[in-house]
A and B are shown apart, each in its own frame.
Chain A
């Protein structure tokens, strides 16, 4: 038997690690683009000011990169220890993208990060610029493979279950890589990193403006960052729209939970906050048709038929098919060596019901509903903060363009306050994605109660608190080193020396 507390602590530990990891990753992705644009300006305009500007942001990038490095490796430790059934069950489908990610992360990032930091006076300008861009591209490609793996967990495709090895085997690599959920998730996540990088650069630059120091550096940084941030945020909104369509299609319970939608239907309303709704908006967002049918939580549990006559199975029917799949799996294992005919029959039944394999572990249909409040509110926090930060970046760019940014102390203060907000938005997004798909470790195929390892829950609790201590220590160190670097500011150029005299 698996203790519910063990599942809870194992999930909490994984969530903690993933949340800390996601503190470092988006800034890496966003700063990489911003500093590459700045260095491009240096190479194109042949102005050393842009070189000093790029070098300062590379220093911030380096601090974040150094402290964040290898945080993700702990997730892989946890797969093997806390989620061993899952790790074996997913087979090479999960392992292949992670292996590719490891190779890319190691070779691209290790090579080009080194050239970027050590090569300023040792390699040509264009080679150095290429290295800076390739550092960012390498980080994005690393993210691609991680998100391919994550996308597969949300919408498993391109595989076949082998009951002999008890593993999923990849039958179509391209289907796994081009999984629409993974592709949308990749762009959505990476571009949200642009947003994070932009807000951090704007916030730090505004600190310089408030102190009336390094003004040219701060204003130039604001200009580049706000343009990158606005482009990134608009693209995040566009990919968010695609993500809504995919969630509606492949994970309708997540959408229903994110909207707190008990009973669905056509012209489903979009809830802004409880009690305030826009009629038909949810149908439009989920299906791109204001009359589109969106099932609610009760529809998904009890079964439904859309106006077009498409039927959705009830939870009980799915659980029955899951039971049939698991029973056939058990019979196959018992008879494969002694009774080939019975084994063949069992395998046939398993193949007919394998898409519902995980439902065999669901004892109560209510277990199929994630914590609604923990999906509903983070979704609103993510979207609300995203809109607020877009407005902030537009205002910052506008006042910078009008040469009034230095007088706008309230906007400078607001920009500094926005730094934690962009992180909250990113974390909220992941909470929607991951809590919203509960109870599944792999959608429809393996719930967390079957995926988790049989460990001593005390050991999992201990490591949870060790992680809290270690991660918080590293985060505090990062913030301290970063604040020191910010206080020191960018390198001084000839024009600063003249101003000083």
Chain B
């Protein structure tokens, strides 16, 4: 019961704080807009982690092969390429 009272007072602190904001309100809109752009647009459509969906073993194999292959192509690669 006491814990619940404490939690509700903390929640009320935040709710009242947000409700009584004057200059801070547009900033919160800005923060929300920014987070939407970051997580709902950029993260979803542009930043798919290359190793996502693989097990740790598969990730090790993939990166290990990449590291070996890239060293092997050094000798006979084209100009302008690594």
Contacts and interface: CB of A to CB of B under 8 A. Distances in A.
Interface string A72-113: 011001101100110111000000000000000000000000
Given A80-B47, A167-B60, A481 B81 contact: no
A259 B22 CA distance: 51
B38 A85 contact: no
B27 interface: yes
A114 B81 contact: no
A321 B39 CA distance: 43
A497 interface: no
B50 A81 contact: yes
Contact of B37 (A85, A114, A166, A470): A470
Nearest to B52: A80
B75 to A, nearest CB: 8
B50 A453 contact: yes
Interface string A468-490: 00100010010001000100000
Interface stretch (A2-10, A40-48, A394-402): A2-10
A66 B68 contact: no
Interface string A130-153: 000000000000000000000000
A2 B82 contact: yes
B28 to A, nearest CB: 7
Contacts of A2: 70, 81-82
A4 B82 contact: yes
Given A117-B24, A118-B13, A85 B30 contact: no
A117 B17 contact: yes
A361 B71 contact: yes
Contact of A77 (B47, B63, B77): B47
Interface string B55-82: 0100110011011101111110110111
B46 to A, nearest CB: 5
A404 interface: no
A360 B71 contact: yes
B24 A62 contact: yes
Contacts, number: 134
Given A122-B13, A474-B34, A84 B49 contact: yes
A323 B16 CA distance: 64
Given A59-B23, A63-B27, A88 B59 contact: yes
A67 interface: yes
Contacts of A117: 17, 24
A459 interface: yes
Q: Is chain A's binding surface mostly helix, strand, loop or mixed?
A: helix
A69 B71 contact: no
A463 interface: yes
B51 interface: yes
Contact of B74 (A63, A88, A163, A363): A363
Among B26, B43, B70, find the residue whose CB has the most chain A CB atoms closer than 10 A.
B70
Nearest to A357: B67
A466 B46 contact: yes
B63 A166 contact: yes
A361 B31 CA distance: 42
Contact of A69 (B34, B70, B74): B34
A466 B35 CA distance: 15
B38 to A, nearest CB: 6
6 contacts: A1-B78, A85-B67, A88-B60, A114-B17, A323-B71, A363-B82
Interface of A: 1-5, 7, 59, 62-63, 66-67, 69-70, 73-74, 77-78, 80-81, 84-85, 87-89, 114, 117-119, 122, 163-167, 323, 326, 329-330, 333, 360-361, 363, 449-450, 453-455, 459, 462-463, 466, 470, 474, 477, 481, 485
Interface of B: 13-14, 16-18, 20, 23-24, 26-28, 30-31, 34-35, 37-38, 42-43, 46-52, 56, 59-60, 63-64, 66-68, 70-75, 77-78, 80-82
Q: Give 6 closest A-B pairs by Cβ, nearest first.
A: A118-B17, A80-B49, A449-B82, A84-B50, A66-B27, A77-B47
